[in-house]
Structure 1
Amino acid sequence: MSDRPVFVVGCPRSGTTMLQLMLHSHPRLAVTPETRFLVPVYYGRREYGDLRDPERRRTLAEWISGDRTTKFRELKIEASDYIEQVVDGPGSLGSVIGTAFRMYADRFGKARWGDKRPSYVKQVDMLLRLFPDAQFVHLIRDGRDCVSSLKEMPWYTLNSYHAISTWAEAIDAGNKLRRTLPEDTYYELRYEELTDDPETELKKLCHFLEEDFDPAMVSPREAASDAVPLHKVWHSNTHGDVTRARVGSWANRLESWEISVCEAALGERLRANGYELSGAPAPSKVHMAKLQRTMQKRRASRKRKNMRDRLNRLREPGPVAALLTSEQRALAGIPQQRVESPELAGRA
């Protein structure tokens, strides 16, 4: 049976929390709430030095479990137990991070763990460095629905141009992943099809994950109390039945100029993913110029960040890849432990 980590990715407001709960409802999968420590730990790895030193692992584990920004407490595992397991565990960055997720799965008696954060779709290279056997599930939703939903979120402080750019970046990242990753590593599905026929789509997804389908996945609302923190009121819909009520609601939630900009800028991407255009009039040059400036600034920011990371890789303080699952250990060249039956052990 597989013990590979699973990451749910996509554009924000594309239904990734719903999919998280569907997977969490599976008897072998536990998918965490967003924890907010994986990315900062990776980019701050030089600060903690070579994690083959147990005391350095302790220092990092204490920060992960004790700092308020990490949301570690939402995993509901004991910080002291986590710290000790990290100290006693493998000496790599991925192992320190992965131990928290593994312990979360242990809470539910499940064999595999997963993590959900939409922006991971643009950070798959980083995630594969940490968890080289990971699988990625990319949920795609109509970009116009994503933009309209983002605008309404209390935590989203950017404008519509940024929302449009966010969807375009997620789709472009997915296109690259589809071309470059093995078939057993990357999987795409559409929100509209998942909500229309959850059982069929989840059976296909389970085949990709090498898991048996479980009917509980179709009605994931019971998992919401475990995997969706109560303070996230914008995920209140996940506590009910799976519904298509919001499909296509962008037509009543976006202003006319926003629809025009969306379809002009995202038209090819929308059509390529099976979404029909409304035939909205062409947007003004002023609106398109603002969008282009926004996209250029975001692109330049990503390039700068990627360049810094490439430089940091040349000065890596210690091992990065996790050594927790059977495939992770195999990829690192670590012999698999032979487990003898009690009968054989007794004859020895």
Structure 2
Amino acid sequence: MLSTKSGSHTPIFIVGPPRSGTSLLSAILCSHSRIACGPETDLFRAIPLETAVQTVREKDWRQLAVLQLKSILYPDGKSMLSHFGLTEQSINKYLCTQEPTASAIYSAIPAAFAYRHGKARWAEKTPRHIMYADTIRLLYPDAKIIRIIRDPRDSIPSVVKNIGLSKSFVGEFYRWMSVYEQSEPFFRDDSGSVTVRYEDLVVNPSKEVGAICKFIGEDFEPEMLERSGADLVRVETETWKGDIDKRINADCIYDWKRKLSHRVAKAGSIICYEALEAFRYPEGIKPKRDIKVFPLGENFGVVNESFIIDSAQNGIRYSTAGKSYPTSISEAFVCHQDVLIGDLPLGKGAMERVWNSMNAILRIISRFVRGTPVKVDPNIQLGVGTLSRVVTAVALRFGHKTRIG
């Protein structure tokens, strides 16, 4: 673990899956006398790294950066600057002290926010930035990255209820596991990062926060547990964060045992088995049979939820073969010929979806002609929408139908 001298000014990033305790942790750190943390920024998605790099190559890069940051809106329609209580002038004032680097653009809002609140150090909390850990490390070699994890069988019901990514428990279990699989190598190898279990934080907050303070190079302040800075890390429309300044309560730990149906809990315990084992969560279920599916995208668990839950009762798990989100539809039929075909990623734009659908159909027919038909289970939907149904019909006609589960 990297050591940081007391009084450090290195930034702190708080990341993790949704509803895992990132808001609680950011409220705790924001209540430190030297640390400021505002609402979520989602900056690395709002301003792709390529855009930031191109911006700082321009002569008027500061003005361009201010315009880019000003244009970022929250779901409530208000600008990010307004939620942080900042102005264009305050952002420009910070940028005038910086060299033209991408990190200067990403630092502008949290740094100006820290200055506004008289804090010497800034933290940034965006759960989604768990998928940008490599970018964070590239831009901030000395940054401290804190990943907070919660048993997905507890966090996902809250995701389904509050955030609305989908109403499918199984789809969210797959999404959670995809985040784990893609980000785990970074956190396993990066010495400037630490992982905190939500359960440990709420059971023994003084001990865990003390360890976090040691990690980031700050003195533990008992006032941190009072979370006086909670109002700074949430916005009015985020009603599900209304309790982050209430008494830290461990009663909700492993609530899934009481609230999730046995069938759904078993499906989640099988889908997330490796992660549950890695984080020492109880009652993970090792699959009796692991069926590889490619590609296994976001829709696979959603449209096949009942089928997957039924299969899980028999110890059968569908898991991803290769990348969860392939860059090309051709990968499904060229690179992974011996696995079941799953959720077809046809793209978002109309022309892209038409092109990829035609490409998929040609690949399916070509495989049939060569005597190596694609494997497809007639019980599994390959996607949603008209084009996906057309591709599904072609796959069932020219593929090798294999009933599984």
Q: What is the TM-score with the length of structure 2 in the denominator?
A: 0.67
Structure 1 residues 175 and 35: CA distance shift in structure 2, 3 A: closer
Q: 1:171 aligns with which of 180, 183, 195?
A: 180
How far off its partner does 1:276 sit?
A: 1.1
2:86 matches 1:61: no
Larger radius of gyration: 2
Q: Which runs of 4+ in 1 moved over 4 A?
A: 278-285, 288-298, 301-304
How far off its partner does 1:210 sit?
A: 0.9
2:56 matches 1:51: yes
Q: How far apart are the structure 1 equivalents of 2:189 and 2:176?
A: 20
2:121 matches 1:112: yes
Structure 1 residues 281 and 95: CA distance shift in structure 2, 3 A: closer
How far off its partner does 1:255 sit?
A: 2.7
Of structures 1 and 2, the one scoring higher in RCO (CA 8 A, sep 6+) is 1
Q: How far apart are the structure 2 equivalents of 1:188 and 1:303?
A: 33
User: 5 Å matches for 1:1-348?
Assistant: 1-43=7-49, 45=51, 49-69=54-74, 71-87=80-96, 89-157=98-166, 159-173=168-182, 175-182=184-191, 185-220=192-227, 222-277=228-283, 286-287=307-308, 299-301=324-326
What letter is aligned with 2:197? R
**Contact persistence 2:273–2:284 (CA under 8 A):** no
Structure 1 residues 186 and 55: CA distance shift in structure 2, 3 A: same
What SS does structure 1 have at the residue aligned with 2:145? Answer: strand
Partner residue in 2 for 1:320: none
**Contact persistence 2:15–2:125 (CA under 8 A):** yes
User: Which string of whole-angstrom CA distances, capped at 9 and with x for unpartnered residues, describes residues 36-84 of structure 1?
Assistant: 33322124517x7351444133112112124435623211112222134
Unaligned runs of 5+ residues in structure 2 are 1-6, 290-304, 330-405
Instruction: Name whichever of 153-162 and 235-244 sits farther off.
Output: 153-162
How far off its partner does 1:95 sit?
A: 0.6
Q: How far apart are the structure 2 equivalents of 1:28 and 1:6?
A: 12
Structure 1 residues 293 and 280: CA distance shift in structure 2, 3 A: closer
Q: Over the residues paired in the alignment, what is the CA RMSD in angstroms?
A: 3.0
| Sequence identity percentage | 22
What letter is aligned with 1:40? A
Q: How far apart are the structure 1 equivalents of 2:50 and 2:132?
A: 15
**Contact persistence 1:5–1:114 (CA under 8 A):** yes
Partner residue in 2 for 1:339: none
* Count of residues in Structure 1 that have an aligned counterpart in Structure 2: 300
What SS does structure 2 have at the residue aligned with 1:238? Answer: coil
Structure 1 residues 50 and 62: CA distance shift in structure 2, 3 A: closer
How far off its partner does 1:88 sit?
A: 5.1
Structure 1 residues 20 and 197: CA distance shift in structure 2, 3 A: same
**Contact persistence 1:138–1:186 (CA under 8 A):** yes
Q: How far apart are the structure 1 equivalents of 2:175 and 2:36?
A: 27
Q: What is the TM-score with the length of structure 1 in the denominator?
A: 0.77
Structure 1 residues 286 and 296: CA distance shift in structure 2, 3 A: farther
Structure with greater helix share of residues: 1
